Amino acid sequence: MPRIIFGTDGWRGIIAEDFTFDNVKAVAQALSDYISSRNQRSQGLVVGYDTRFMSGRFARVVAEVAASNNIRVLLASKPTPTPIVSFTVKNRKAGGGVVITASHNPSVYNGIKFKLEHGGPAPTDITKQIESLLFNNPPKHEKSRIEKNIQETDFESDYVKGLEKLVDLQLIGKSGFKVIFDAMHGAGDRIIERLLSSTKCAIRSIRAEQNPTFGGVKPEPIAQNLKPLMDTIVKSRADVGFATDGDADRVGVVTSDGRFVTPHEVFALLLLHLYVNRGWRGGVVKTASVCSIVPRMARKFSLPVYDVAVGFKNICEIMLKEDILIGGEESSGLGFKNHVPERDGILSSLFVLEFMAMERKGIGQLLAELRAEFGELHYDRIDLPYDKPDRMDLIPKLQLHPPKSIGNLSVKTATTYRGVEAVNGIKFHFTDDTSWLLIRASETEPLIRIYSESTSDKMVQRLLHEGLRLL
């Protein structure tokens, strides 16, 4: 019997190896049993999918199993971004949602994300309950119930109405910005282009056609994957560029001269915009890998800061308990007040455009002003491929024998972060009160991630090297 484990953001596996129709049916039945146990069958299940190989077919299988369990299903009629599915769950008051996606993983992967009735990701205690139901009951398939309970629909129009309440699309439209949007062949499609097509803005979409291999590039909006976007911006003399990952819940931002804006600075820019221009208030939630510029800004604004383990489900838990303005990750996923407790790469892009339109400034100038007021940022990360079975054992071993100094910097404190099954991250804080080193085992990919912030780029690289040596 295969072992299916929900990691930091759902279950992911290699297509045809462990992500198979039989396993997807088993997960769908466990999800159906969970929904039934909560008497939410009549509330229904929203099912969406991205542009990966066979995602539409896998989504149909999930819908059919759920429908056979007498659960009403709203099934996306086309590839749909995760934030739109999340919004639909909350907006339609559904019992939950499923997205067939492996997010930013390579094209050989696919996966299942499960959303609760609030639209946000399911926390670990819920996914553990679902895992405990796996293979308890054979997947149901009843044709009469399938025909009765599945309704195919397009979720985009209601989502757009929701955006219109959050963002001043008219102001953006009047700005006349020239914008390049890079969907990275994912579910982001041409949605920004459709939103602003009748305005003075000139929107051009690239890599918008569906391609299950993502053009041979991992659909993660980080600098090394965005050369087509950077080149197009410079050649077109565009004002700004945006890229979204495979399921469009993350965003990458590029300036008019083709420079990548770090996710930390995007987080900081939008915190500044929402606080100053929008006048919104609330706490700030950040994962352990986010740089110090964000809490530094929050303290200046007298906003509470919450530090959580990597994984947006940990941010979501705080967003549900506290009054939160913005929550974000180093991996460029941001969630906002007055929306759903979920990452949204489309809304993030629009907020950046709104900031530019309100200030009548380019993204490069806004970034320069941010750095002048809150300081330069020196940060980097290493993704170390590691497919040995002891990946999840490395951090607990390091926790048992933590170093007293790293790279000639004395360790002040060490903080550990728990993953789904065990401690999977350790963060060393140094006595200079600026530098830190985080080593973390990914729960969604065969990787060890090493992150660092320090007083200079040279020191960052030194600490990353020391992190590799520690492993």
Least confident interval from 72-86, 402-416, 418-432: 418-432
pLDDT at res. 407: 86
Give the pLDDT mean for 271-279: 98
Do 414 and 402 touch, CB atoms closer than 8 A?
yes
Give the pLDDT mean for 307-316: 92
DSSP conformation letters of 258-323: SPEEPHHHHHHHHHHIIIIIS----EEEEETTS-THHHHHHHHTT--EEEE-SSHHHHHHHHHHS-
CA 118, 120, 123, 126 torsion-angle sign: positive
Give the pLDDT band of residue 1 (cuts 50, 70, 90). Answer: low
- Angle (CA) 343 346 350, round 5°: 115
Q: Where are the domains of the chain?
A: 11-156, 175-374, 379-470
% of the chain exceeding 70 in pLDDT: 99
- Tell me how far apart the alpha carbons of residues 121 and 311 are, in angstroms, rounded to a whole number: 10
- The 10s digit of each residue's pLDDT in 220-261 is 999 999 999 999 999 999 999 999 999 999 999 999 999 999
pLDDT at res. 7: 78
Distance of CA 457 to the CA centre of its chain: 26
Going from the C-alpha of 422 to that of each of 35, 317, 417, 440, the distances in angstroms are 27, 19, 9, 12
**Dihedral class, residue 189 (left if φ above 0, else alpha if ψ from -120 to 50, else beta):** left
Packing angle between helix 293-300 and helix 263-272, nearest 10 degrees?
A: 10
| Domain 379-470, classified CATH 3.40.50.720, yes or no | no
Q: 175-374: same fold as 11-156?
A: yes
Q: Which CATH number fits domain 11-156: 3.40.50.720, 3.40.47.10, 3.40.120.10, 3.40.630.10?
A: 3.40.120.10
- Tell me how far apart the alpha carbons of residues 445 and 118 are, in angstroms, rounded to a whole number: 27
- The 10s digit of each residue's pLDDT in 60-110 is 999 999 999 999 999 999 999 999 999 999 999 999 999 999 999 999 999
pLDDT at res. 420: 67
Give the pLDDT band of residue 408 (cuts 50, 70, 90). Answer: confident
Give the pLDDT band of residue 392 (cuts 50, 70, 90). Answer: confident
Write the single-letter amino acid at 349: S
Do 28 and 139 touch, CB atoms closer than 8 A?
yes
Write the single-letter amino acid at 131: E
Architecture of domain 175-374: 3-Layer(aba) Sandwich (3.40)
Give the pLDDT mean for 292-321: 95
- Tell me how far apart the alpha carbons of residues 204 and 252 are, in angstroms, rounded to a whole number: 16
pLDDT at res. 262: 95
